[in-house]
């Protein structure tokens, strides 16, 4: 099975390169640093590093409190952070600058994996959430590198995707020393893939331990003063193709009843920023952008947040937040950012990537689910008209956020034990 898997990886490598080329046409960062994806980069000249892999921006954000805890508890250990996407890379640089060594994770080809491990020389490997690469896992076991999957989650869709390869996935998982699952549901799905129950612990979700950026609340309050504290404002965050039009239709419903309402619109992917801005302008809205205007003005009807890592002050300023990737079958995105700031949350029907967190918020009254795009406008309008309801939802959302904190501390205890061994 492993031989066939490796053969398949070599056969699909040209397709992976073509995919990089295609993405590079739309997004310039995809054209850069290609050699790293095959393990070619200048060795940083250290050994005994602590290596954290976070595939993209969401996983980097989830790993932020863990990486900071590693820096605090192991100040002399070099930190290696790997990502797969340019947006994840940009977020690593934004959060940590040159204090960590960043490189793209190589493709799961034996020669690339070997070269990567020879250059970074980790003494511990931490894989964030859901990344099962058999050749990488086997290479870590062969070199005696303890491997942990932290903040481990496995959606129903991911489980179905891995099941046809269950034999080799089970063998790969047996290379892992510990799987720190977000929830009992995630742990059960890892067992279905063949993980040993002795490997599994439920430690909770690290995203509850994310720090609220210093000054986010004050910056949000300043924006509200700028555009008028009584102005109705809602936000649509991490939207995907197919969702922006639904959000704009919802905003038209709101504007009919509240002509001074403002929509803060944050597309998920940077390569779509300009396209979304042009689409909004073509529909006749008065539009501002983060890059051009800094903050919304009273004249703007829609404000496009075309910058990465800038959402928290806007969540603090908004009265209602819709979290995207949920009206289309993407699986939803992080509902904890608005919850941490006591902002009521709306989601669509597709939240399988964050099912436990979303269900908890809904059950406790901090979030509500809308069935489709027409319902979105109705719910936004209802909440904007009902400040008491917004306050109750905001308090409930923040209580859920505070109650679930502590996963990073539990994971750090497991890491300490592994490193002592």
**Which of the residues are catalytic?**
59
HEC secondary structure over the chain: CHHHHHHHHHHHHHHHHHHHHHHHHHCHHHHCCHHHHHCCCCCCCCCCEEEEECCCHHHHHHHHHHHHHHHHHCCCCCEEEEECCHHHHHHHHHHHHHHCEEEECCCCCHHHHHHHHHHHCEEEEEEECCCCCHHHHHHHHHCCCCEEEEEECCCHHHHHHHHHHHHHHHHHHCCCCEEEECCHHHHHHHHHCCCCHHHEEECCCHHHHCCCCCCHHHHHHHHHHHHCCCCCEEEEEEECCCCHHHHHHHHHHHHHHCCCCEEEEEECCHHHHHHHHHHHHHCCCCEEEHHHHCCCCCCCCEEECCCCCCHHHHHHHCCEEEECCCCCCCCCCCCHHHHHCCCCEEECCCCHHHHHHHHHHHHCCCEEECCCHHHHHHHHHHHHCCHHHHHHHHHHHHHHHHHCCCHHHHHHHHHHHHHHC
CA–CA separation, 134 vs 308, rounded Å? 32
Measure the N-to-C terminal CA separation of the chain; round to a whole number of Å: 32
b (16+ CB within 10 A) / e for 202-234: bbbbbbbbbeeeeebbebbeebbeebeeeebbb
């Amino acid at each position: 099975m492993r031989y066939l898997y490796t053969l398949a990886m070599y056969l699909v490598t040209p397709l992976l390169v073509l995919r990089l080329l295609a993405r590079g046409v739309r997004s310039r960062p995809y054209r850069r640093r290609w050699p790293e994806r095959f393990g070619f980069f200048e060795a940083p000249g250290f050994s005994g590093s602590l290596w954290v892999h976070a595939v993209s921006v969401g996983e980097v954000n989830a790993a932020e409190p863990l990486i900071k805890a590693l820096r605090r508890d192991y100040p002399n250990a070099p930190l290696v952070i790997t990502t797969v996407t340019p947006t994840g890379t940009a977020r690593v640089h934004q959060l940590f600058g040159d204090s960590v060594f960043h490189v793209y994770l190589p493709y799961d080809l034996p020669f690339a994996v070997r070269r990567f491990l020879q250059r970074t020389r980790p003494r511990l490997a931490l894989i964030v959430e859901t990344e099962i690469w058999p050749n990488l896992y086997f290479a870590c076991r062969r070199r005696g590198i303890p491997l942990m999957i932290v903040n481990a989650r496995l959606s129903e869709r991911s489980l179905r995707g891995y099941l046809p390869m269950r034999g080799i996935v089970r063998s790969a998982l047996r290379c892992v020393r510990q799987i720190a699952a977000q929830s009992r549901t995630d742990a059960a799905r890892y067992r279905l893939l063949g993980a040993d129950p002795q490997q599994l612990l439920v430690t909770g979700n690290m995203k509850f331990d994310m720090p609220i950026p210093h000054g986010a609340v004050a910056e949000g309050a300043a924006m509200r003063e700028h555009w008028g504290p009584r102005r109705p404002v809602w936000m649509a965050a991490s939207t995907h193709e197919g969702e922006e039009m639904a959000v704009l239709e919802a905003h038209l419903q709101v504007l009919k009843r509240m002509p001074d309402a403002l929509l803060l619109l944050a597309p998920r992917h940077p390569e779509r920023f300009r396209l979304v801005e042009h689409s909004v302008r073509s529909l006749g809205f008065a539009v501002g952008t983060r890059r051009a205007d800094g903050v919304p003005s009273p004249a703007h009807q829609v404000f496009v947040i075309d910058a990465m890592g800038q959402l928290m002050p806007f969540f603090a300023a908004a009265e209602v937040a819709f979290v995207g990737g949920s009206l289309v079958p993407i699986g939803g995105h992080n509902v904890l950012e608005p919850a941490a700031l006591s902002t009521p949350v709306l989601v669509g029907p597709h939240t399988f990537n964050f099912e436990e967190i979303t269900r908890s918020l809904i059950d406790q009254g901090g979030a509500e689910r809308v069935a489709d795009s027409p319902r979105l406008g109705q719910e936004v309008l209802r909440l904007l008209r009902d400040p008491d309801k917004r306050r109750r939802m905001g308090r409930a959302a923040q209580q859920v956020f505070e109650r679930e904190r502590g996963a990073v501390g539990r994971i750090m205890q497991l890491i300490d034990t592994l490193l002592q061994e």
